[in-house]
Amino acid sequence: MRVVLDGSPQELRTVWLEGDTVRMIDQRALPSAVRILELNDVEDVARAIEGMAIRGAPAIGAAAAYGLALAEIRGMDLGRAAARLRRTRPTGHDLFAAIDRVLREVEDGKTAREAAEAYARDDIERCRAIGRHGKRLIKDGMRILTHCNAGALATVDVGTVMAPLTAAKEAGREFFVYASETRPYLQGSRLTAWELGNAGIDHAIVVDAAAGLLLQRGEVDLVLVGADRIAANGDTANKIGTYPKAVLAKTHGVPFYVAAPMTTVDFGARTGRAIPIEERAEDEVLTIAGVPVAPKGSRARNFAFDVTPARYITGFITDLGVLKPADLRARRKKR
For residue 330, the model assigns a pLDDT of 77
Position 155 scores a pLDDT of: 99
**Lowest mean pLDDT across 3-7, 85-89, 315-319:** 3-7
Asked, for residue 189, whether it belongs to a domain, the answer is yes
- Among 126, 148, 173, give the residue marking a domain's end: 126
What does the pLDDT look like over 178-232, one tens digit per residue? Answer: 999 999 999 999 999 999 999 999 999 999 999 999 999 999 999 999 999 999 9
Residue 182 lies in a domain: yes
Residues 62 and 112 in one domain: yes
pLDDT at 335 over 80: no
C-alpha pair distances (Å), 258 with each of 16, 226, 230: 26, 5, 10
Report, as an integer, the average pLDDT of 96-107: 98
Cα distances (Å, whole numbers) of residue 300 to 18, 28, 240, 331? 40, 21, 14, 40
For residues 10-23, average pLDDT? 97
pLDDT digits (tens, 9 = 90+) for 121-164: 999 999 999 999 999 999 999 999 999 999 999 999 999 999 99
* Pair 148, 294 in one domain: yes
Q: Looking at the domain assignment, is residue 60 inside a domain?
A: yes
The pLDDT value given to residue 233? 95
User: What mean pLDDT is predicted for residues 32-48?
Assistant: 98
pLDDT, tens digit (0-9, with 9 covering 90-100), for 65-74: 999 999 999 9
Of the residues 157, 228, 266, 319, which is catalytic?
228
Last residue of a domain, one of 126, 144, 160: 126
Q: What pLDDT is attached to residue 104?
A: 98
Dump the DSSP string for 6-61. Answer: TTEEEE--SEEEETTEEEEE-TTSTTT---EEEE-SHHHHHHHHHTTSS-SHHHHH
Average pLDDT on 320-325 reads: 95
Q: 183 in a domain, yes or no? A: yes
Confidence of residue 332 (pLDDT cuts 50, 70, 90): low
Tell me how far apart the alpha carbons of residues 234 and 220 are, in angstroms, rounded to a whole number.
23
Is 131 within a domain?
A: no
In this prediction, residue 333 carries a pLDDT of 55
- 89 with 219, same domain: the answer is no
> Alpha helices, DSSP H only, in the chain?
42-50, 57-74, 78-86, 93-107, 112-134, 162-170, 187, 193-198, 211-216, 242-251, 283-286, 325-334
Handedness of CA 324, 241, 131, 153 (dihedral sign): negative
Is 290 domain-assigned? yes
* 304 and 209 share one domain: yes
pLDDT class for 268, splitting at 50, 70, 90?
very high
pLDDT for the residue numbered 7: 80
Specify the number of domains making up the chain.
Answer: 2
| Domain membership of residue 289 as a residue range | 136-334
pLDDT at 2: 87
Question: Which CATH number characterizes residue 27's domain?
Answer: 1.20.120.420
Residues 108 and 145 in one domain: no
What is the residue-averaged pLDDT of the chain?
Answer: 97
Confidence of residue 89 (pLDDT cuts 50, 70, 90): very high
Q: Which residues of 123-149 are buried (b: 16+ CB within 10 A; e: fewer)?
A: bbebbbbbbebbbebbeeebbbbbbbb
Q: Is residue 282 part of a domain?
A: yes
Same domain, 207 and 313: yes
**89 and 238 together in one domain:** no
Q: Same domain for 152 and 106? A: no
**What gap in Å lies between CA 271 and CA 295, rounded to an integer?**
39
Domain-ending residue, one of 99, 126, 153: 126
Q: Are residues 158 and 294 in the same domain?
A: yes
Q: Please say if 319 is a catalytic residue.
A: no
Average pLDDT over residues 21-46: 98
* Contact (CB, 8 A) for 180 and 241: yes
What's the pLDDT band for 4 if we cut at 50, 70, 90? confident
Q: Please indicate, yes or no, whether residues 164 and 313 belong to a single structural domain of this protein.
A: yes
Do 217 and 320 have their domain in common?
yes
At 334 the pLDDT is 56
What is the value of pTM for the model shown? 0.96
Do 114 and 150 share a domain, yes or no? Answer: no
A 10 A CB-CB count for 271 gives 14
Residue 289, pLDDT > 90, answer: no
CATH number for the domain that contains residue 141: 3.40.50.10470
User: In angstroms, rounded to a whole number, what is the distance separating the alpha carbons of residues 72 and 229?
Assistant: 28
Asked if residue 40 is part of any domain, the answer here is: yes
